[in-house]
Structure 1
Amino acid sequence: MSVRFDSWGRVSRKPRAAADVADFRGTAPGSFLPFGNGRSYGDSCHNDQGRLLPMRPGAAISAFDPDTGLLTADAGVLLSEILATVMPYGYFLEVTPGTAQVTLGGAIANDVHGKNHHRRGTFGRSVVMFSLLGSDGVRKSCSPQSNAQLFNATIGGMGLTGIIEQATIRLMRVPSANVRQTAFRFSGIDGYFDAIDAIDASHEYSVAWIDQLARGGKLGRGVLMAGDHAEDGGPARPPSAPRLSVPFSPPLNLLNRLTLTAFNEMYYRRAPAQPLTGIVPWSSYFHPLDAITGWNRLYGPRGLFQHQSVYPSQNARETTVALIECAQRHGASSFLTVLKRFGDVPSPGLMSFPRPGFTLTLDFANSGERTLKMLDALDEIVMAAGGALNPYKDQRMSAAMFEASFPHWRQMEAMRDPAVLSDFWRRTAMVLEPAQRGANRPSAAE
């Protein structure tokens, strides 16, 4: 069966072969890769030389205990479906990424992060246990106490250790899912860094939107949005269907310099000049773009690249400026530019992307070679700063950049299920260490 399983970046769009989990056992090396809901931006969810295992069909929540806040669900369940179940009982995800349209298995496999990393770390810290099926047919229960090495390798392991079948996670009690937000605009990048220490010390969540096109004394201007679950936020509406839709891809990129200059000016001017506090719906604070189905199509038929990096705090101000100026020199326009802090709460994941410092995310329409050259230049800045790139947002980082970002990748390779491989791993890790696979190589499930 050939089905279109595109990643969110839509740079590589082609029919991809699908298979059933029943076909997984005893397969050839690199034959399979679990596929969630396609919200990874690049090729970490592709295996064009093999087949994909769709995890969404039939996925369900099997248990939720309102007394303990523990929930058990199949890996293909969406985070939005979990929220719809637990919110009426006064619970919320301890960590939620920028979209709720990711699967539970995907959130674990990518060890996603949210706007409260400085307080609670990554999604993997919420994971109590999961069952993992290996290609040798062995099913293992993994937790910090049982099969701990496999547990750590699977969290942030991009689906390469086997098939996460079902997982139990811990939810957190909240007075309301809605958010008491304090927002204000800052006129330049110094305004963000001068304020962020006090903001993060007093709020559960924080995130900043940056006007990537602003130059001179305005460079790095933006809007900082801090938040906490509101004590008086009232009943929150559960996840609902998107209100808007982009049903097809326009023939050209609609998010270009002209449209973004106007949008950025309007967004910046609408933000309060002084801190303003009020209640905002949880969905607009955590997942604003979930309200628009297919918003990624606005980048046009060639898709988009997202560049997300993390770099140390001691040189964060200078590195942020260097990245923004680099994109400007290359004539690139980023629609969604986000800056936030990563704290020092350790992740259990062996290959987790977040680490102490600051993370900058930029989105660029795919303009071919010109865009690729700019992304390489951005990588050089990140590497020189001692930083790293996010693998599940990537489609083109070099093997050298990957190794600099993840020096423990060989431990991950040793835990990889031999039947599972992704295009991302094939073009990074497998280039660094040519295949020496054989029947004597142990499975991650052994």
Structure 2
Amino acid sequence: MHLHPRHISIKDFTYHLPDERIARYPLAERDASKLLVYRNGTISESNYRHLPDFIPAESLLLFNNTKVVEARLLFQKSTGSTIELFCLEPGDNYPDITTAMLQKKSVRWKCLVGGAKKWKEGALEKTITIHNHPVLVQAHKLEKSGDSFLIEFEWDDDSLSFAELLHAAGVLPLPPYLNRVAEEEDKQRYQTVYARHDGSVAAPTAGLHFTPALQQALASKQVQQQYVTLHVGAGTFKPVKSETLEAHEMHAEFMDVPLQLIEHIAHHIETIQKPVIAVGTTSLRTIESLYWLGVEVLQQPQLQPAAMHVQQWAPYQTPQAETSTVAALQALAAWMRTNALERLIVKTQIIIAPGYRLKVADALITNFHQPQSTLLLLIAAITGDNWRTIYNYAMEHDFRFLSYGDGSLLWK
């Protein structure tokens, strides 16, 4: 029996990542990136253009179609100093991110404030030009909670949604480890080609390697491609600062999955019996969360939609649920029908760490992650101690690391 993930020591999940191995910029062509393939303890090397060669026909590939928003807003004070507001997630009075993004005239958002000490009182103001019209934007500090603030934004053009305002006034939030400001090219390259729903402050980076041509090549091989939505929060970059996982609070992220897709995944596993492959750790966390939500409604059929939430340690409560994947997904779908829900919009805090057994996914397509991160723990959950061999191989064979780097296909 594995150590309970609460007691995992994070320093056991580190490796030396030299600065020059971090990909500062993407390759000119998305699908030219290298691909490491890990299966049954063996490693081979290819590139993304040949991905269809490694995926069986009739497999189900699940992508995250969230869209990165220009979440950094810069305000200049009359004194000349700059205050940065980094929009993390909407205030608790909105049911989901999309609703908050569509607000007109004003919205409340939880933000990190860069230069908070310089912002004593009063509103921050800036004027931006949208469609040749000046728009006055104001930010009011309402309250502090943890390391963030609840900010109320107001703007004097009631035809504009908050999403449109961010697109016009905000800056794309590149990962901090790139150590550079966002450039014009990043607007297109730090976004997947299939991004649809505004709401992430970080790209689901495994998807950055996919092109329409690659997706067409997969379709030609009868590989099914479906989409979930999980809005990636800034917590994805939050290093584990505690010695063990117990004291690390996993960030909560909104996921949005249609009822039809949940039924489709259950049908696929039960009747087609070909692999389910998650493109990216966010897609993986979403589909694994579906399993635990199914277990939850089996245990509490009367559960109200507002009470649905995947807690960080839910998968590790003993005894670990032995519900079959199909039974859990079917129960979740039935519960949604009972509650007249076409889409499941809930928050998940699931942490996937060594000791976790994948319930829905058979494989993961993903980039190479930071030392001592929850993402590296997720890799170790899939590959066991072989994560070291995989990362050593990538280091010795000139793979590029992190968001704009190369990637891997890892089979459980």
The TM-score with structure 1 as length reference comes to 0.27
The TM-score with structure 2 as length reference comes to 0.29
